[in-house]
Amino acid sequence: MALKSTPRFKLMNLAGWGNVPRFNSAVYRPERSPEVASIVARREDASIIARGLGRSYGDAALNESGDVLIDTRLDRFLDFDPATGTLECEAGATFDAIIGAFLPRGFFPPVTPGTKYVTVGGAIAADVHGKNHHRDGSIAEFIDGFDLLLAGGQAIRCSRQENPDAFWATLGGMGLTGIIQTARLRLRKVESAYITVDYKRTENLDQTVAAFADGDENFQYSVAWIDCLAGGAALGRSVLIRGNHAKAADLPPDLRDHPLTATRRRKRSVPFNFPGFALLPFTVRLFNDHFYATHEDGRKTVDYDEFFYPLDSVLHWNRIYGRRGFFQYQAVFPAAAGSRCLHELLEKLSGSSRASFLCVLKTMGKGSGGILSFPREGQTLALDIPNRGGHTVEFLRELDQIVLKHGGRVYLAKDAVMTRQSFAAMYPDLPRFNQIKATLDPERRFSSSQSRRLGIGEKA
Amino acid sequence: MQSFVDSRPQTSPAGETVTGAAVPSGNCVLIIGASSSIARAVARIFASAGSDLILAGRDIDDLKRTAADLRIRSGRRVDIVPFDAEAFDTHESFWRECQTRGGGALAGVVMLHGHLPIQSEGQSDLRIARQAIDVNFISAVSVLTFAANDFEARKSGFLCVFSSVAGDRGRQSNYVYGSAKAALTAFLQGLRNRLSRSGVNVLTVKPGFVDTAMTWGMPGLFLVATPEKVAADVHRAIRRGASQIYTPWFWRYIMLIIKSIPEFIFKRLKM
């Protein structure tokens, strides 16, 4: 008699990182790779979507009344070539684990979002970008290929040469083409675990935009923290934070002996959802003033955690927005419209009482070729907006209208409220994506709450 | 496949800094039932602490992936030997093969294989109950007999075996599984008693609820521990030569309470 177990699911009420919205799903979490195919093939009528560490903010990794497949237990490294830095791994491997295993050998993720608690599968599905987008592009540039499991249970190899349509539809395709099982990713060679950072304060938006234009090419990483409560003459005042990987020889003497080992800090955690009054405009005002005042112009050497992942040092930081959660809003708009679009957005934000901590502005380089990928040349603005009920959604949709007017688009990994009309206008390549999806997934088995809200994958 | 040797202390997945103090470098640990998530976490800690590994189990494709992962992370040597708990007549040659691969001096064995039957099936079909007893108890006895005799003769080595809190008291919800684990616990007590004179440590591990494929989606779980937490506890217990651990630790007290309920009350409870 053979021992066997049928894949079991758990009924869970899941949310994205913003904690809003929440939906019930049947959740699978396989520990052996062939189980993924049997879970997908198990029910021919049910919708299913892959999920990693749940760091997308809205409903991209949610599936109301459908199935969700969490791949975090399939997280193994399968091959590594130190000559090229090419790592083959299962899709559930996290950036945190990659840094832990490879930074001591002098390798770092070539592109990283603002958290290391993301999986490789999730990074591909969102075609993530980081502070080096203006120079290096998104993660797509460093993905050599991946194996994609289709609805029928068979896997196909995807790369720029093999099944290129599936490759470019899956990069940025939010998991809607299938389930990424393994991926090949080129890591970056680094000499140290440290970044040499230059801080530069600006007093208004014009100065900020000018500061970016002047000298961004000298920095691999570049971002500005904007005070989006500041209005009037101080509208758009910022702290530019730009840096390069520190060479071992440039480190202070006390760090030079172990250049690839950063000191580990104790992690703090937000133990419960904060009450609503914690984020009154004046508390955020105080925080922003403090941040601006304490970041004087100058140069510092900081470790990678402090530079790339300041929020990761506080586990569950999303709880400070309370039980009702928050929306993260990120848009990119062409450089030509950049200044005008930024002005309008910031004026709308500082004029509303919707407190947001510092928001983030950066310059983006060329897009990757991912059909639904977010990044494109121009400027991108990202900010948090606490959920205060019905009007919040209207407010976000008004922001969408401003972005749309200036030829910009909103990031699917952050979005929770966009309308179909706005989405179709922002992503003109949607029909081509739908065409490829129709050949890969004719029964439309792979869908999420987000894809149904936005009509992604539907027949024309 | 490129391998790496990094002699500096590594950080375990549990975030605890471990050194290779207890298991001398180059010594080899055999992990039986190496496909489970707890086994993978145990293997990662041993590898990062400087042990070579032999992974044993039925799912060879899966073990190959885990072995590749361990080699890349640690640069240690990782071998695979097929093991089928129910094929008793293969156990002797299995043990010989592991001994050979371990250079004749295995540092120890971590035995995690097991099978949780659906209780309702186990109580209506003897074949199901018998299979649970075979896998959870008899197969462990089989392999431990070979291992114990070898380790006793050379007066070294450790035997770390996963039993369960389910073996501490029979309950209607899983007494078939629980009885096999209770038998295993008693067997290990006797074995420990016998081998203590030879310097061979026998460690009984009693995990509470652990967040694994075995428990995923089960109703009524509480205080569920991660596989990494259990693995860190087990590694620490092996290093300090403990006889028995509950993991996480508070299960000792939960089971103390459950064991102390008088039978005339206990038999009426829904547990």
Q: In Å, how far is B70's CA from the nearest CA of chain A? A: 8
Q: Do B35 and A31 touch (CB under 8 A)?
A: yes
A window 366-425, beta carbon within 8 A of B:
none
pLDDT band at A267 (very low <50, low <70, confident <90, very high): confident
Which of chain B's residues have a Cβ under 8 Å away from the Cβ of A105? 4, 6
Task: Band the pLDDT of A337: cuts 50, 70, 90.
Answer: confident
Give the helix/strand (H/E) hosting A345: helix A335-351
Task: State both tokens at A417.
Answer: 């409220």
| Cβ-defined contact of A81 to B135 (cutoff 8 Å) | no
d(CA A385, CA A20): 12
Q: Respond yes or no on whether the N-terminal peptide bond of residue B248 is cis (omega within 30° of 0).
A: yes
Query: A29 to chain B: which residues are within 8 Å by CB?
Result: 213, 216
Contacts of A228 (CB under 8 A, 6+ apart): A346, A349, A350, A356, A358, A359, A383
Q: What is the pLDDT of residues A119-168, one digit of tens each?
A: 999 999 999 999 999 999 999 999 999 999 999 889 999 999 999 999 99
Question: Both ends of chain A: CA-CA distance in Å?
Answer: 50
Q: At what angle do helices A205-213 and A335-351 cross, to 10 degrees?
A: 150
Residues A105, B6: C-beta atoms closer than 8 Å: yes
Question: Is the pLDDT confidence value at A248 over 80?
Answer: yes
Among B196, B192, B32, B36, which Cα is nearest to B108's? Answer: B32
Beta strand residue intervals within A29-90, DSSP E: 48-51, 67-70, 77-81, 86-90
Prediction ipTM score: 0.93
B205, B160 contact by CB (below 8 A): yes
Q: Which of residues 224-253 of B touch A (CB under 8 A)?
A: none
Q: What is the pLDDT of residues A178-208, one digit of tens each?
A: 999 999 999 999 999 999 999 999 999 889 9
**How many residue contacts between A and B have a Cβ separation below 8 Å?**
64
Question: Is the Cβ of B37 closer than 8 Å to some Cβ of chain A?
Answer: yes
Contact A79 B68 (CB under 8 A): yes
Instruction: Pick B226 or A266 by higher pLDDT.
Output: B226
> pLDDT, tens digit, for every residue of A48-86?
999 999 999 999 999 999 999 999 999 999 999 999 999
**Residue A3 near chain B (CB below 8 Å):** yes
pLDDT tens figures, B46-62: 999 999 999 999 999 99
Q: Going residue by residue through chain B (271 aa), what tens digit of pLDDT does each one get?
A: 333 333 333 443 433 333 333 344 348 999 999 999 999 999 999 999 999 999 999 999 999 999 999 999 999 999 999 999 999 999 999 999 999 999 888 999 999 999 999 899 999 999 999 999 999 999 999 999 999 999 999 999 999 999 999 999 999 999 999 999 999 999 999 999 999 999 999 999 999 999 999 899 988 888 999 999 999 999 999 999 999 999 999 999 999 999 999 999 999 998 8
B177 part of the active site? yes
Q: Considering only alpha carbons, which residue of chain B is nearest residue A90?
A: B65
- For residues A81-96, give the mean pLDDT: 98
What letter represents residue B187's amino acid?
Answer: F
Rounded to whole angstroms, the Cα distance separating A239 from B60 reads 54
The reply to whether B5 touches chain A by the CB within 8 Å rule is no
Q: How far apart are CA B185 and CA B162, in angstroms?
A: 9
Burial of A460 (0-12, 13-18, 19+ CB in 10 A): exposed
Q: Which percentage of chain A shows pLDDT scores above 70?
A: 96
DSSP H or E segment with residue A228: none
| Residue in A8, A9, A76 closest to B68 by CB | A76
What is the rounded distance in angstroms from the CA atom of residue B207 to the CA atom of residue B248? 7
Selected residue of B216, B226, B228 to mutate for chain A interface (largest A Cβ count, 10 A): B216
